[in-house]
Amino acid sequence: MTSKTYSGVWNYFRVMENDASKAQCTLCDKVLSRGQSDRPKDFSTSSLLTHLRSQHRRDYNELTVALVLFYVELNSEIRPDLEN
């Protein structure tokens, strides 16, 4: 069984109500594809991250920093022996 993880990109996008294969950027309202509409298990956030990186660089950088800090904190909880 696979587990889904939350992507921070969803702070900047919402799934379109009339078409789950599309997501709309909450910063500029652009609608992007998440994958083929007949294959929901293949939906991804790659195009959303690419849009965020290319069109909203400051927000993308903030997301990246938040993720790095999250993983550093998570790693220190899992492996406290790795702390300075």
| Residue 26 three-state SS | coil
The model's pTM: 0.73
Tell me: pLDDT of 3 over 60: no
HSE value, Cβ hemisphere, 13 Å, CA-based, for 46: 4
pLDDT value, residue 36: 83
Calpha distance 33→20 (Å, rounded): 9
Confidence of residue 1 (pLDDT cuts 50, 70, 90): very low
pLDDT value, residue 79: 66
